[in-house]
């Protein structure tokens, strides 16, 4: 997938999760044989401070198809 398209997807995720701004995702591309298509996962990792000052790791993963459509977004608590 083109870097330009990936940047557009990242901007859409930043709109949905403003706390991720400035965090670069890990980009992984893989092939799904059953569908005959490629998929891309963007994994954002950050740490959030809770109300009682504990550090909580936060992970948000977006799965995208070849056309740039976000198929699924999952996040940790």
Q: Which pTM does this prediction carry?
A: 0.83
Please write the tens of the pLDDT for every residue from 21-72. 999 999 999 998 888 899 999 999 999 888 999 999 999 999 999 899 999 9
- Domain that residue 9 falls in: 3-75
pLDDT at 77 > cutoff 90: no
pLDDT of res. 42: 96
pLDDT of res. 48: 87
Q: Tell me the β-bridge partners of 61.
A: 43, 74
- Range scoring the smallest mean pLDDT among 1-5, 6-10, 23-27, 64-68: 1-5
Region of residue 18 (left: phi > 0; alpha: psi -120 to 50; beta: else):
alpha
Instruction: Take residue 12 and report the two structure tokens written for it.
Output: 């859409």
Q: How many structural domains comprise the chain? A: 1
Half-sphere exposure of 12 (CA within 13 A, CB side): 17
């Amino acid at each position: 997938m083109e870097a330009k398209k990936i940047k557009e997807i990242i901007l859409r995720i930043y709109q949905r999760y403003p706390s991720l701004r400035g965090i670069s995702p890990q980009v992984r591309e893989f092939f799904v044989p059953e569908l005959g298509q490629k998929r891309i996962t963007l994994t954002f990792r950050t740490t959030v401070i809770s109300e009682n000052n504990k550090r909580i790791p936060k992970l948000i993963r977006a799965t995208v198809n070849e056309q740039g459509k976000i198929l699924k977004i999952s996040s940790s608590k």
